[in-house]
């Protein structure tokens, strides 16, 4: 089992009723049952091909009675009778994750627990969580196959849990942990932003809004990295 999958399993509360959105091969639902983390799991996907893969793997694991597969978009595959209390959304961009969550919210579906693993755009996800009264309760930063991943677990509350600009960018818990993976991720990001800024400034019609965003992010990264070396 890969590192990211195991980390996702560990972020799910024991005895949870889970919807795995964008399940693909249903690796997560199968792992949740094998490790006795979940009582009920929906393996949901928008594509017929991935869902067929999921069904084949679920059957091979002998879990077709425990894991229900659903074809459909996002949280729309969840029924009230499922009594789902946890959604896991992993392996897609932060913007798409927030679109899925927003569509659910607009239909009155704000689940008690979210476990999210965007490949990019993590600050967008944290911003959505903050604006919808979710409190981040755990985060993990790990690296696998040359790519770093940020995993975010959040619980629904009754008030807005405000995050600073640094916490939105780096993650409130990841900021406390730091470490070697953190250093590499943000040194690489700083190098990328430096090249991007050069290209933006050379453009015939510079995008001043984007330039301003890049400079602001550079400033935050510089402050954090200098803190680590002080």
51 CB-contact burial (10 Å; exposed 0-12 / middle 13-18 / buried 19+): buried
Q: Which CATH class is domain 3-169?
A: alpha beta
pTM value?
0.94
- What would the pLDDT profile of 60-100 be if each residue is shown by its tens digit? 999 999 999 999 999 999 999 999 999 999 999 999 999 99
- What would the pLDDT profile of 179-204 be if each residue is shown by its tens digit? 899 999 999 999 999 999 999 999 99
Cα 196 to its chain centre, rounded Å, is 25
Q: Domain ranges in the chain?
A: 3-169, 180-229
pLDDT band for position 1 (50/70/90)? low
């Amino acid at each position: 089992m890969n590192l990211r999958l195991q980390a996702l399993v560990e972020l799910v509360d024991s005895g949870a009723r889970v919807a795995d959105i964008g399940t693909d091969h249903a690796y997560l639902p199968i792992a949740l049952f094998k490790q006795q983390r979940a009582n009920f799991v929906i393996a949901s996907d928008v594509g017929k091909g991935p869902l067929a893969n999921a069904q084949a793997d679920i059957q091979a694991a002998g879990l077709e009675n425990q894991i229900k597969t659903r074809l459909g978009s996002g949280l729309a595959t969840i029924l009230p009778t499922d009594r789902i209390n946890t959604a896991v959304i992993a392996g897609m961009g932060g913007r798409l994750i927030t679109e899925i969550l927003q569509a659910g919210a607009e239909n009155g579906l704000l689940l008690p627990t979210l476990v999210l693993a965007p490949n990019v755009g993590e600050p967008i996800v944290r911003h959505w969580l903050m604006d919808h009264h979710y409190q981040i309760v755990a985060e993990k930063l790990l690296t696998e196959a040359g790519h770093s991943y940020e995993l975010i677990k959040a619980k629904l509350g009754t008030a807005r849990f405000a995050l600073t600009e640094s916490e939105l960018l780096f993650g409130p818990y990841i900021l406390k942990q730091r470490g070697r993976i953190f250093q590499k991720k943000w040194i690489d990001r700083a190098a990328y932003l430096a090249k991007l800024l050069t290209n933006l400034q050379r453009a015939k019609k510079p995008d001043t809004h984007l330039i301003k965003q890049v400079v602001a992010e550079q400033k935050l990264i510089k402050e954090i990295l200098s803190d680590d070396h002080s």
